[in-house]
Structure 1
Amino acid sequence: EAAPRTTRAQSLDVLSSQANIAGYKAVLIAADVYPRFMPMLMTAAGTVKAARVLILGAGVAGLQAIATAKRLGAVIEASDVRPAVKEQIESLGAKFLDVPYETQEEREAAEGVGGYARPMPPSWLARQSALVHERAKQADIVITTALIPGRPAPTLISADTVQAMKPGSVLVDLAAGRGPEGEGGVRGGNCPLTEADKVVTKHGVTLVGYTNLASMVAADASSLYARNLLDFLKLIVTKEGALNIDLADDIVAATLLARDGAVTRKA
């Protein structure tokens, strides 16, 4: 989380490499749980409509989820607080759910910091919530991927929205266990009804709360993670094997937490 979101840092970005896998696996899990086909099928026994998929959050995980769902033939809508991702969403074949910004505060928050999303003002969140509620009612599969570093995951799908969703629909919550504390100190995710590491059915909707989807694609997850670590070690270890902490390197400086008994970066 401390590494800057720059082109040079991409090869050692563990968050991105593992989120990419999580977004892919989330769609496969949803397809497995969903009791119908994903693509449209025209058969002698009748026509099957394509599944409608709603993806909330278009970071690395969300974009991979869009691409994977598209390959499976779904009709996809996606939303994100950052206006810059609209082009990426549409290039992958999904429709962007646009919530206009009414104030400069909303626009500045949407730009984010260093590639990470920031908490949005309540006025924008209220408008987004109303739009998401209406689109979720029409969706067959909802995948939520929104996380904000250092803060609880934002609530994107309320309990009322789950109750309004179609029976048999599926919600895969990639933020399971990292949402705000609810009753009894239990944390949901982007939906308060999600239960960490469980698959539960509430109001006729199947909620998937797996917290380590990358481990379900273990071979590639381990390979990519190992490459992330190797590329990071190249920055702080010389060819001779000696430790070399170069604070002139922006990646090393950003990720250094303590040195010589002193904390160099606050949590």
Structure 2
Amino acid sequence: MKIAVVRETREGETRVALVPELVGKLTALGYEVAVEPDAGRHALLADEEYAEAGAAVDADAVSTADVVLSVQPLDPSTVRRLRRGAATISFLPVNQERGLVVDLRDVGATAFAMELVPRISRAQSMDALSSQALVSGYRCAVVAAGMLRRFFPLNMTAAGTVQPAEVVVLGAGVAGLQTIATCKRLGAVVRAYDVRAAAAEEIRSMGAKAIELELETLEGAGGYAREMTEDRAARQMELLAPYVAAADALITTAAVPGRTAPRLVTAAMVEAMKPGSVVVDLAAESGGNVEGAVAGEVVRIGNASVWGGKNVPSSMPGPASRLYAQNVVNLLTLMTKDGAFAPDFEDEIVVGSCVTHDGAIRHEPTRAAIEGGATA
């Protein structure tokens, strides 16, 4: 059976779905591997490296493949080249890509979405959302340190003492905890907040101080926070305002896949920050935690520079690709039996991540939205 790795075509995407060092894992399972020319170029991976690892370099790899791997969803023209019954594995944000889901259904493709892999212990090695959040969290800390025109760490010199920067992190999931850890390694004083009860201990384990507000916690399914009411959101903003105002750098990382990011910080809160302050909003692409943040841009709000994240993992394509590729290989291994791609639709990981199969939409919320007449 043949696996094809496509060259990403969406603007700004620099990752690749398979790296040369993992080609051998797939050939050992019994697959032939082919990559489109220049598939790894933006991640600084040459075609020759893939060839040396045992992959073919083939411009027409998709049309004969049993399984097609990508980071971003395939474009419609590529979907039309799939042979009937072929499978795709990629990120596939179903709420934003309903037209593509219909195309995948109509060509008879079996499509798996990496963001739908269940958040269970057995699937941790396949959790691409977490692996990419790790990259994003690190990058956010580095961006904040680079934009802030002062030291992150304490410096004691003969000329006097330079106080450390004060950093506030909102959101303590995978990205938030990596942000905290990186800011701490850079020497900043870090305070952090998350609406989940378990997060306070995780924040402290990273060496930061947990901000504790007198509010109910919001534990949700799959390790994510559940949605808060307008009253609670307003009260939370009121209680967080003094911490934001005192920060040299504010980094926000709160997001839930497939939903609009929660608004945590108003423009008025940012305007109360000190001259030269920096705000980094990782969730800008999904609506933003910070009012006024713009994905892919740096805007000025009051005295602060506000950086809006856009496809942040692609700013570090090498490590992001390697982590993502390992997630994909682990998922493929689960779905391989006796050298053939044979997903077990009794397995909760397979069922949970499947969007289309055998001419039908299998992801029930998406099926209801599309076939129930909802528009994209």
What SS does structure 2 have at the residue aligned with 1:177? Answer: helix
Amino acid at match of 2:354: L
Deviates more, 1:216-225 or 1:135-144: 216-225
1:128, distance to aligned residue in structure 2 (A): 1.4
CA contact (8 A) 2:140 2:251 kept: yes
Amino acid at match of 1:209: G
1:195 to 294, 308, 318: 294
- Pairs aligned (count): 251
* Residue aligning to 1:142: 250
1:62 to 176, 191, 204: 176
Distance in 2, matches of 1:100 and 1:166, equals 26
Amino acid at match of 1:149: P
* Residue aligning to 2:275: 167
1:100, distance to aligned residue in structure 2 (A): 3.0
Output one character per residue of 1:98-134: Cα deviation in whole Å (capped at 9) or x when no partner: 2234xxxx55xx1111212221123322221112211
The reply to whether residue 251 of structure 1 matches residue 359 of structure 2 is: no
Q: CA 1:19 to 1:138, structure 2 compared with 1: closer, same or farther past 3 Å?
A: same
* Residue aligning to 1:184: none
Q: TM-score, normalised by structure 2?
A: 0.65
2:332 to 216, 233, 236: 233
Output one character per residue of 1:123-167: Cα deviation in whole Å (capped at 9) or x when no partner: 322221112211000000000001123221111110101111111
Amino acid at match of 2:140: A
Identity of aligned residues (%): 49
1:73 to 152, 175, 187: 187
Q: 1:1-267 to 2 correspondence within 5 Å?
A: 1-101=115-215, 106-107=216-217, 110-179=218-287, 189-240=288-339, 242-265=340-363, 266-267=365-366
Output one character per residue of 1:14-43: Cα deviation in whole Å (capped at 9) or x when no partner: 110011011001111111110000011111
Distance in 2, matches of 1:125 and 1:202, equals 21
Amino acid at match of 1:155: R
What SS does structure 1 have at the residue aligned with 2:306? Answer: strand
1:69, distance to aligned residue in structure 2 (A): 0.5
Amino acid at match of 2:344: D
CA contact (8 A) 2:279 2:307 kept: yes
CA contact (8 A) 1:99 1:127 kept: no
What SS does structure 1 have at the residue aligned with 2:341? Answer: coil
Distance in 2, matches of 1:252 and 1:100, equals 41
Distance in 1, matches of 2:291 and 2:162, equals 32
What SS does structure 1 have at the residue aligned with 2:314? Answer: helix
User: Over the residues paired in the alignment, what is the CA RMSD in angstroms?
Assistant: 1.3
1:229, distance to aligned residue in structure 2 (A): 0.7
Distance in 2, matches of 1:195 and 1:114, equals 28
CA contact (8 A) 1:119 1:148 kept: no
Distance in 2, matches of 1:99 and 1:122, equals 16
Gaps of 5+ in 2: 1-114, 367-376
Q: TM-score, normalised by structure 1?
A: 0.90
Distance in 2, matches of 1:126 and 1:209, equals 22
1:218, distance to aligned residue in structure 2 (A): 1.5
Distance in 2, matches of 1:206 and 1:70, equals 22
Amino acid at match of 1:152: T
Amino acid at match of 2:224: Y
What SS does structure 1 have at the residue aligned with 2:223? Answer: coil
CA contact (8 A) 1:54 1:135 kept: yes
Distance in 1, matches of 2:348 and 2:223, equals 15
1:260, distance to aligned residue in structure 2 (A): 2.0
Distance in 1, matches of 2:268 and 2:237, equals 11
CA contact (8 A) 2:220 2:226 kept: yes
* Residue aligning to 2:111: none
1:212, distance to aligned residue in structure 2 (A): 2.0
Distance in 1, matches of 2:161 and 2:123, equals 47
Distance in 2, matches of 1:248 and 1:99, equals 43
Distance in 1, matches of 2:219 and 2:309, equals 29
Moved beyond 2 Å, runs of 4+: 121-124
Distance in 1, matches of 2:291 and 2:269, equals 11
CA contact (8 A) 2:267 2:301 kept: no
1:177, distance to aligned residue in structure 2 (A): 2.6
Gaps of 5+ in 1: 180-188
What SS does structure 2 have at the residue aligned with 1:191? Answer: coil
Amino acid at match of 1:230: V
